[in-house]
Chains A and B, each alone.
Chain A
Amino acid sequence: MIPAVDYIRILPELVLSIFGIIVMMVDPVLPEQSPKKPLGVIAVIGVLAALAATAYQPGFYGSAFYNTVSVDTFSVFFHVVVLLIALVVILISFEYLDVQRIRSGEYYALVLFGTVGMMLMSAAVELVLIFIALEISSISTYILAGMRRRAAESAEASLKYFLLGSFATAFFLYGVALIFGATGTTNVYGIAHYFQTQQASVLAYLAVGLMFVGLGFKVASAPFHVWTPDVYEGSPAPVVALMSTGPKAAAFAVLLRVLFATGAPGWFWMVWVSAALSMTLGNIGALVQQNVKRLLAYSSIAHAGYLLVAFAAAKQVGISAAIFYAASYAAMNVGAFAVIGHFASEGEKYVTLDDYAGLGRRSPLLAATLTIFLLSLIGIPVTGGFFAKFYVFSAALQSNLVGLTIIGVINSAIAAYYYLRVIVYMYMRDERVEAPVARIPAGLGVGLAISLVATIYLGVMPGRVLDYAIQSAQDLLK
């Protein structure tokens, strides 16, 4: 018999799934060629309801469904981050789908289902559920990547994402199989208990390595990053906003729960090398890019590297720094892709740096917004990116990771060059092509405002969110 309180512990996921099903059921009723904005409105209501359900959860901490789900500050924090990402993505999709003439209502349902997967990933403490949640979020994003069905690039991006994603899943699964063999359990607490009481076997080391490979693909850290630029370039911009932040944050949550908090052996040097490689390859790759989506794809690899630096650091400060970084990276990256998606126009024609020349004069508001997001990605004070980097590097220094910190700081300096290059193009170059700039519609305006407020808020008053992050870290290590 499952107690009623268990359902409250998965209430946000339940609410969101129900709204996803409602979207699927209303879709056939609407006229086929009409814009699907009503479905988007249903999706927004669903996300807001799920946010309300999440806000209701803190009174009901504990584990549910025979120890497969654990609701704590950590899961609630990630729920809120993922839901806000989904909210902004749906809001910016209203206009995007219209402009690109995408008439598929299932778009919104897939965003909702994908979000359910990401939320479950952050709450699950049983490897079976973690695997299923990972697949719910992955399969939804594979389809979303190919939503511009008639564009060859979009189909290709979808294919590459699908093939490499499934490849990575198989590695993750093999790791799970071996860790089951080594510890005799698939429960995260059981695994933690095993590592605390017994000497880890060779099998366990192998398992940790394989799971890290699988999750490394999902978070796009080097050397498992090769798919990222292609997939981000070909996928629809709002979808990139979702998949560069949501699944990434969720996969980091899984890394934290399964490898970090259980005290699994042998990950330190893997994380160290992967962090150093991600930062370096990401930033160097970004230097030569002409396509803005591709540029931000390389930047996202680099940011995965900064996040991994926090992992290499000591437990509690490292975890809280990583959680804070995931939140602030989500805020600024979603915003940047919102602007890019709006500016790309029909068929995503305007995505190269040359197209951005003179944007500062044609559309001052849009250019200023993008500038703030880019400054935040550099890590300039008064933006969320600054404190995120600051906490990560101070956590690394506290654990005496001087080498990694130096690599990180040098990389931050290199990164400033290519972000500033975009800003220079917008404000100091004369326009060569007549790229039209449409008015900012209401949905996009609200979406941009949310990401902008979040970015600035994290940069001016990081205290409250950081407290939550520290609380989450404590919950995780209990």
Chain B
Amino acid sequence: MVPLSYYLVLSAILFACGVAGFLIKRNIITIFLSIELMLNGVNLSFVAFAAQLNKLEGHIFVFFVMVVAAAEAAVGLAIIIAVFRTRETLNVDRVNLLKL
């Protein structure tokens, strides 16, 4: 059996890749996908813990995370389209009417 720590390390790496993508990438869609990667990293942790502890909560949580991620994707893509219509770009550096 693969020990728990392997799963946790992989999940942390996935999460870290997501964070890095969020911070480095400039295309809005790629940034959005990075967030999905983070969520899937978390899901892996949930499943690993649930299997290790033999508790159902972790499995249930994963389903809810997936549902919520789908809802977020629907809303997020709509927002991205609204931005593209007004600015005609998907580069975050050029979506800068409001100064950061």
Partners in one complex: yes
Q: Which of A's residues lie within 8 Å of B, judged by CB?
A: 127-128, 131-132, 135, 139, 142-143, 146, 149-153, 155-160, 162-163, 166-167, 169-170, 173-174, 176-178, 180-181, 184-186, 226, 229-230, 233-234
Q: A135 touches which one: B38, B71, B87 (CB < 8 A)?
A: B71
| Bound complex: CA A153 to CA B61 (Å) | 36
B45 touching A181, Cβ below 8 Å: yes
Q: B100 touches which one: A155, A176, A226 (CB < 8 A)?
A: A226
**Nearest A residue (CB) for B46:** A177
Which residues of A are found within 8 Å of B80, using beta-carbon distances? Answer: 159
Q: Which of B1-19 contact A (CB under 8 A)?
A: 8, 11, 15, 18
A162 touching B79, Cβ below 8 Å: yes
A180 touching B49, Cβ below 8 Å: yes
| Bound complex: CA A132 to CA B57 (Å) | 14
B86 touching A155, Cβ below 8 Å: yes
A181 touching B49, Cβ below 8 Å: yes
B97 touching A152, Cβ below 8 Å: yes
Which residues of A are found within 8 Å of B42, using beta-carbon distances? Answer: 170, 173-174, 177
Which residues of B are found within 8 Å of A234, using beta-carbon distances? Answer: 97-98
| Bound complex: CA A338 to CA B59 (Å) | 44
**Nearest A residue (CB) for B99:** A230
| Bound complex: CA A21 to CA B34 (Å) | 33
Least CB distance from A465 to B in Å reads 34
Which residues of A are found within 8 Å of B55, using beta-carbon distances? Answer: 184-185
8 A–B contacts, CB within 8 A, in A order = A128-B57, A139-B71, A150-B86, A152-B87, A155-B86, A156-B98, A177-B11, A177-B46
Which residues of B are found within 8 Å of A163, using beta-carbon distances? Answer: 22, 28, 31-32, 35, 76
B53 CB-CB contact with A under 8 Å? yes
Q: Which of B52-100 contact A (CB under 8 A)?
A: 52-53, 55, 57-58, 60-61, 64-65, 68, 71-72, 75-76, 78-80, 82-83, 85-87, 95, 97-100
Knowing A173-B42, A174-B45, say if A128 contacts B61 (CB, 8 Å): yes
B61 touching A162, Cβ below 8 Å: no
Q: Which 3 A-B pairs have CB atoms at the shortest separation, nearest pair first?
A: A170-B38, A181-B49, A152-B86
A162 touching B15, Cβ below 8 Å: no
| Bound complex: CA A151 to CA B71 (Å) | 24
| Bound complex: CA A142 to CA B82 (Å) | 12
A139 touching B98, Cβ below 8 Å: no
Chief secondary structure at chain B's binding surface: helix
B79 touching A180, Cβ below 8 Å: no
Q: How many residues of B contact A (CB 8 A)?
A: 45
Query: Most chain-B CB neighbours within 10 Å: which of A142, A157, A180, A185?
Result: A180
Knowing A159-B83, A174-B45, A230-B100, say if A166 contacts B76 (CB, 8 Å): yes
Least CB distance from B77 to A in Å reads 10
| Bound complex: CA A175 to CA B45 (Å) | 10
Which residues of A are found within 8 Å of B100, using beta-carbon distances? Answer: 226, 230
Least CB distance from A197 to B in Å reads 17
B75 touching A170, Cβ below 8 Å: no
Knowing A156-B95, A159-B80, A177-B49, say if A139 contacts B64 (CB, 8 Å): no
| Bound complex: CA A149 to CA B82 (Å) | 7
- Beyond contacts A159-B95, A184-B53: 9 other A-B pairs, Cβ-Cβ < 8 A, are A128-B57, A131-B61, A153-B98, A155-B82, A156-B83, A162-B79, A166-B32, A170-B18, A170-B39
Which residues of B are found within 8 Å of A139, using beta-carbon distances? Answer: 71-72, 75
A173 touching B65, Cβ below 8 Å: yes
A142 touching B79, Cβ below 8 Å: yes
B61 touching A186, Cβ below 8 Å: yes
Which residues of A are found within 8 Å of B15, using beta-carbon distances? Answer: 170, 174
Least CB distance from B43 to A in Å reads 8
| Bound complex: CA A127 to CA B55 (Å) | 15
Least CB distance from A69 to B in Å reads 16
**Nearest B residue (CB) for A203:** B8
